[in-house]
Structures are given as C-alpha cells and as structure tokens.
C-alpha cells in the first residue's frame, strides 16, 4: 500500500468511525521531549488505559505528536465576512484556540457563533469592547473605521458602549458595568498607554488609556464577577502599573517608539517587575511580529525593535512569567497572519531554543485562552486535541509547519 493511499484510508476511517481510537507508534510531546508510545482517545479524551472496545487503529509510524498551537491575541474573528476562510487559515496553521481581545459583540451574530466552538472548527473567546478613558485608544481607531463603513450597519455613533467603553471614574464603572456584563464577555480588556503621562495627556486624543487608579477598580470589580482582566500596554511603566493593579494578563510587550522617548530604556521591563508579575501569576502575551510591521520604520528601528522584544521576552521568561504569544492579526489582510508567523519570527531571531518555544506556543498560550480546560498537554484525561508532525520540531522548530494530520476531540480534521 503506498503512502498516499494509506493516508486517505486513515483520514476516511478516523473521521467517520467510532469513538475509541488507538493511536500507536507515536512520539508524544511530554513537556520535556518526545516519548514513544500509544495513547487512546475515547469520546474526545486522551487516555493511556486501553478501552474494552477499539473502533480504529491509527499507526503513527514514528511521527511526532504535539498539542495544537494557540493564538493568544488576534482580532480576525470579528463578524461573518470571510469567516470560513479565516477558520481554515487557523486550522491549516495548526491553531485550534483563539482569543480576541477587542471586538464588537453585535457583529458576532448567530451565524458566527454557530461556526466556532464546534468540534470541527476553532474555539474562540471574546472580550467584547475594551475599557479606556475619554479620547483614549481605541476610540479614534474605531470611529475612523466606522466612518469607512467597515462595521456594516454600525456607524461612528454606534461605537461607544459596543467597540469600547469610556471609564474615567468609579462612577462611570458603576454606571456602565451592567452594560458591559450584558454582552457576556469571556474576559475584560483594558487599555494602558503611556500611563506615566496620564495627567499630561488628559486633554489630548489617542496614545493614552485608563487612569492606572481606575484600572485597579476595574480589576477588583471584574474579579468579583469571576472575570479575568487583560491589559494592553505600551511602555515599561504601563507594564509596572498593570502588575500593580493585579491584572491577570498583560498584552504586548513594550515596543520602542522614538517619537515618545529617544531613550529606549522606557521600553525595557526591569527584572524586579518581571519577578513580581511571576509571583502574581500574571501571564504576558507577546505580540512580537506586529511591532515590526508597523509602517514608518527603517532598518535601524527594526533592529532595535527585535532586540528589545527579545530582551523583554527573555527577562519575563527567566523571571518565571508565563509567556504566551499572539500575532495581533486583524481582518482585511490576505493571507491573514496567525501566531504561526510570530513563532517562526521568534525562532528565526533565536529568542529561545526550540523546546522553550514549543512550550510557549502550545502549553502557555492555550492556558491564557482557556485556563480551566484540560488542553495544552498530551496527558491522561486531557482533550484529545493534537497535531501530528512529520518530523521532530525540537531538531528544527520550523518543522511545526510540516503537519501530517490535525486531530480535535479525537477526530481528524479535513
């Protein structure tokens, strides 16, 4: 039997047949390396215990099995337009879990909801509109996009309390909280930008976010309601303020903007703050590649950005912070970028060795999206979600693009 023929047979048998599958002769990632052996999937769950009845046997022929990739920061799942294609792009890249930290919930129609969080699709969590101050990011961005007609039936006047919420004080928070909760967010997104100059920037628009004192109130409120809080940051002081506010997750790492400070130390996370973030169990989602593709950068800027990203990522990692990765991808680009591109960029620039990068890509990033689900590891009782790679990704991290099969809840995805 030739290879292609057996491949087709394997797919057709495993996607239609029963629930109990024996996955034999695999090299399974155990968090430290690869271990030869057999796992069973029964009703979508992994187990080492052989079920009484086996429906199918899949011979993995020494191929390498890893947990799926997780995209911890992406805005692309934002409505009906091009949705099927976006889902296919994620699955093609091996990404099963996606977090959207700012979206207009009105555009997540029943059609959208029915196409995600299904066994054959990607699983997505949403923050809905983020919380910022008057004139803060992303107010102007959404007003501009709405004027361009990007949001279908929604114009600039519909953006407030949908695409974002303005929270300048405790009063605002109390008044608007019921509205925020009415959208059933999976978590709360907040914005800090250049917060060291919060007072100075009060009367300007853009390049600013919440008052750090208001952020503290939001975190307390959200935690009372069982919701995690993610905070967008720009500078090292924003990072520090987010840690002080006890947020659950920090989005982005400081990216040098010489227009704000020629002294790039404003963008360097110090070790003590990194250790404090680790002590508080705060996750950080680095959106590395996104920093390099902003327009108006010359090659010197790009070198500085990459060096700064790498330095910050290593500081966080060595301090024991749970480091995750997202692409900050958005709709409108073809092909749409995913976290796979960010990971390959980190590998190319040697941020970390292949083992560390693999753990960041699978274990850490999945945790930041679904902290309560048994995913991100190939262990007894965990969901039977995995990628089967043709070659060992620890020998060369780029091999994570060489996917033989994608399996979700014990079933092969086409």
Q: Hey, which residues does 70 pair with through a beta bridge?
A: 97
Shortest distance (Å) from residue 346 CB to Zn ion? 18
Q: Which is nearer to Zn ion, 21 or 346 (CB)?
A: 346
Part in contact with Zn ion (CB under 5 A); list of ranges 277-285, 294-302, 323-331, 367-375: 323-331
- Site mask for Zn ion (CB under 5 A), range 277-316, x = bound: ----------------------------------------
Q: Which is nearer to Zn ion, 93 or 328 (CB)?
A: 328
Distance, CA of 406 to CA of 86 (rounded, Å): 16
Q: Which residue has the tokens 């057999």?
A: 38
Q: Which is nearer to Zn ion, 196 or 328 (CB)?
A: 328
Q: Over the Cα atoms of the chain, what is R_g?
A: 22
Question: Using CB atoms within 10 A of its CB, is residue 101 exposed (0-12), middle (13-18) or buried (19+)?
Answer: buried
CB atoms within 10 A of CB 85: 11
Shortest distance (Å) from residue 342 CB to Zn ion? 12
Interacting residue with Zn ion among 78, 328, 363, 383 (CB under 5 A): 328
Q: Which is nearer to Zn ion, 20 or 100 (CB)?
A: 100
Which position's Cβ is nearest Zn ion?
328
Do 277 and 319 touch, CB atoms closer than 8 A? yes
Q: With the C-alpha atoms ordered 338, 340, 342, 344, is the resulting torsion angle positive or negative?
A: negative
248 contributes a contact to Zn ion by CB under 5 A: no
Shortest distance (Å) from residue 284 CB to Zn ion? 14
Do 72 and 338 touch, CB atoms closer than 8 A? no
Ramachandran class of 206: left when φ > 0, alpha when ψ lies in -120 to 50, beta otherwise: left
Judged by CB under 5 A, the number of residues near Zn ion is 1
Part in contact with Zn ion (CB under 5 A); list of ranges 15-23, 42-50, 327-335, 378-386: 327-335
- Site mask for Zn ion (CB under 5 A), range 25-54, x = bound: ------------------------------
CA–CA–CA angle 276, 278, 281 (5° rounding): 115
Shortest distance (Å) from residue 99 CB to Zn ion? 10
Shortest distance (Å) from residue 287 CB to Zn ion? 7
Structure tokens at 61: 């022929």
Q: With the C-alpha atoms ordered 75, 76, 77, 78, is the resulting torsion angle positive or negative?
A: positive
Shortest distance (Å) from residue 110 CB to Zn ion? 25
Residues in the chain: 414
Q: Which is nearer to Zn ion, 285 or 361 (CB)?
A: 285
In 3D, which of 240, 357, 233, 208 has the Cα closest to residue 291? 233
Q: Which is nearer to Zn ion, 327 or 347 (CB)?
A: 327
Q: Which is nearer to Zn ion, 211 or 328 (CB)?
A: 328
Q: Which is nearer to Zn ion, 123 or 328 (CB)?
A: 328
Shortest distance (Å) from residue 304 CB to Zn ion? 21
Shortest distance (Å) from residue 101 CB to Zn ion? 6
Shortest distance (Å) from residue 142 CB to Zn ion? 12
In 3D, which of 147, 87, 85 has the Cα closest to residue 119? 87
CB atoms within 10 A of CB 311: 15
Q: Which is nearer to Zn ion, 309 or 328 (CB)?
A: 328
Interacting residue ranges for Zn ion, rule: CB under 5 A: 328
């Amino acid at each position: 039997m030739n290879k292609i023929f057996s491949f087709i047979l394997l797919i057709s048998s495993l996607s239609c047949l029963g629930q109990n599958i024996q996955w034999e002769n695999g090299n399974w990632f155990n968090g430290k390396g690869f271990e030869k052996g057999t796992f069973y999937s029964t009703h979508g769950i992994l187990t080492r215990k052989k079920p009484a009845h086996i429906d199918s046997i899949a011979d993995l022929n020494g191929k390498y099995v890893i947990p799926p990739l997780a995209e911890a920061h992406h805005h692309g799942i934002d409505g009906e337009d091009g949705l099927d294609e976006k889902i296919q792009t994620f699955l093609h890249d091996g990404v099963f879990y996606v977090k959207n930290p700012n979206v207009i919930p009105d555009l997540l129609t029943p059609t959208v909801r029915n196409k995600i969080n299904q066994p054959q699709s990607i699983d997505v969590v949403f923050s809905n509109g983020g919380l910022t101050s008057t004139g803060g990011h992303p107010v102007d961005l959404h007003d501009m996009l709405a004027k361009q007609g990007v949001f279908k039936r929604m114009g600039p006047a519909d953006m407030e309390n949908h695409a974002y919420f303005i929270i300048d004080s405790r009063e605002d928070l109390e008044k608007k909280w019921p509205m925020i909760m009415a959208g059933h967010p999976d978590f709360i997104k907040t914005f800090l930008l250049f917060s060291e100059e919060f007072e100075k920037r009060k009367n300007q628009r853009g390049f600013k976010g919440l008052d750090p004192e208001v952020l503290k109130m939001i975190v307390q409120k959200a935690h009372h309601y069982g919701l995690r809080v993610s905070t967008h940051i720009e500078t090292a002081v924003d990072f520090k303020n987010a840690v002080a506010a006890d947020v659950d997750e920090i989005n982005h790492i400081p990216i040098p903007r010489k227009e704000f400070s020629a002294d790039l130390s404003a963008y360097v996370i110090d070790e003590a703050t990194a250790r404090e973030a680790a002590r508080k169990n705060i996750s950080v989602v680095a959106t590395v590649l996104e920093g390099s593709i902003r327009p108006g950068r010359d090659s010197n800027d790009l070198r500085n950005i990459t060096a700064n990203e790498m330095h910050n990522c290593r500081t966080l990692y060595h301090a024991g912070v749970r480091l995750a990765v997202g692409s900050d991808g958005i709709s409108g680009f073809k092909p749409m970028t995913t976290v796979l591109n960010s990971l390959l960029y980190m590998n190319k620039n040697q941020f970390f060795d292949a083992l560390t990068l693999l753990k960041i890509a699978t274990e850490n990033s999945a945790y930041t999206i679904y902290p309560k689900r048994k995913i991100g590891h190939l262990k007894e009782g965990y969901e039977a979600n995995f990628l089967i790679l043709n070659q060992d990704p620890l020998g060369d991290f780029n091999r994570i693009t060489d996917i033989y099969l994608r399996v979700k809840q014990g079933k092969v995805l086409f």
